[in-house]
Structure 1
Amino acid sequence: MATTVTDDETGKSVVDSDGNKIGVVSAVEHGTAHVDPDPGLTDKLLAKLGWDSSDDEDYPLQEARIDVITDDEIRLKDL
């Protein structure tokens, strides 16, 4: 299980530490995963991730938030 973000992560689900889906990796640029958030995310959760809820675009995922990367998903550390 890697923790380095590569282009192979594109299309993987991003889940919180409880396994709840946060979104999907839409692209990887310069080693940073960009996430298309699930439309049902609350403003509180978006704020914990440091994402502005007013934008309708993909958000960069800070590497420090990643707990583990598996073949199917990126799991985040506790928020």
Structure 2
Amino acid sequence: MRSDVTLTEDDEGKNVVNADGDTVGRVTSVEHGKAHVDPDPGLADTIRSKLGWGDADEDNYQLDASSIESVSDNEIRLRR
């Protein structure tokens, strides 16, 4: 279990991929180190999150740091 992952607003707009490399969502916002992920972002949501205008809403899911394998410049990869 990883506890050293710290998410910031810089991670907003990144794709979230599973261990097999399949995109499962996009980070719409990061609040208090917790990412909020839209599992099916539309074009408008994608643009808003890339611009840092994302909001957490009822369609988003909170991503816990213990579920994250790694964070790169373009994506957040989930643990298997």
How does the TM-score come out when normalised to structure 2? 0.71
Which residues in structure 2 correspond to 1:1-79 (within 5 Å)? 3-38=5-40, 57-78=59-80
Alpha-carbon RMSD: 1.9
Q: Structure 1 stretches (4+) deviating beyond 2 angstroms?
A: none
**Percent of aligned pairs with the same residue?**
49
Residue 57 of structure 1, CA deviation: 1.1
How does the TM-score come out when normalised to structure 1? 0.72
For structure 1, the residue ranges without an aligned partner over 5 or more in a row are: 40-55
For structure 2, the residue ranges without an aligned partner over 5 or more in a row are: 42-57
> How many residue pairs were aligned?
62
Q: Aligned partners of 2:11 and 2:29: how far apart in 1?
A: 8
